[in-house]
Structure 1
């Protein structure tokens, strides 16, 4: 019975599904780990939860302005800028 399940799911047609689900699980795991370790509003330990609401604006600003956001702020919001420039700008 286990052999038939392996033969059913391990076919080349199913590989894109595995890649897509794997990428989604990876993105979710990254987001969860980032929020648990770096979000100032998430407190995992009992001692931190007992502190109540903190006025830690600098820590929140540091969490919000991460390196990817800083990098993308300088870029134009285009998916293919070279092709867009080729078709929109005259010679």
Structure 2
């Protein structure tokens, strides 16, 4: 097994695994909660729906509500510390 898989490729496996996980999560989210995607035959027969509340609920998900109003910083406390130091 050591001949085929070198230790140097483990970070690549981790990165690819994370990307596949994120893509899978987004795919499942779109199939299950997107108001424009209709998987069952009954829902497809409904035609075009004017359901703006459901679309707004899908677009303004929990993560977006959490981030709204915050500054786009990765380490806000560290930024404040170094900004005040000068």
Query: Same fold per TM (> 0.5)?
Result: yes
Aligned with 2:27 (options 20, 27, 32): 32
What's the CA shift string for 1:14-59, capped at 9, x where partnerless? 1000000000000000000000000000001111111111000111
Q: Runs (4+) of structure 1 moved beyond 4 Å?
A: none
Matched residue, 1:85: 80
Where 1:21 maps in the other structure, the secondary structure is helix
1:7 aligns with 2:31: no
State the distance in 2 between where 1:67 and 1:52 align.
28
Q: Which runs of 5+ in 1 are unaligned?
A: none
**Aligned pairs, number:** 86
Q: Alignment RMSD, CA only? A: 1.7
TM-superposed CA distance for 1:12, in Å, is 1.1
State the distance in 2 between where 1:17 and 1:71 align.
31
Answer 1 or 2: which has greater helix percent. Answer: 1
TM-score, normalised relative to structure 2:
0.89
Of residues 54-63 and 73-82 in structure 1, the stretch that sits farther from structure 2 once superposed is: 73-82
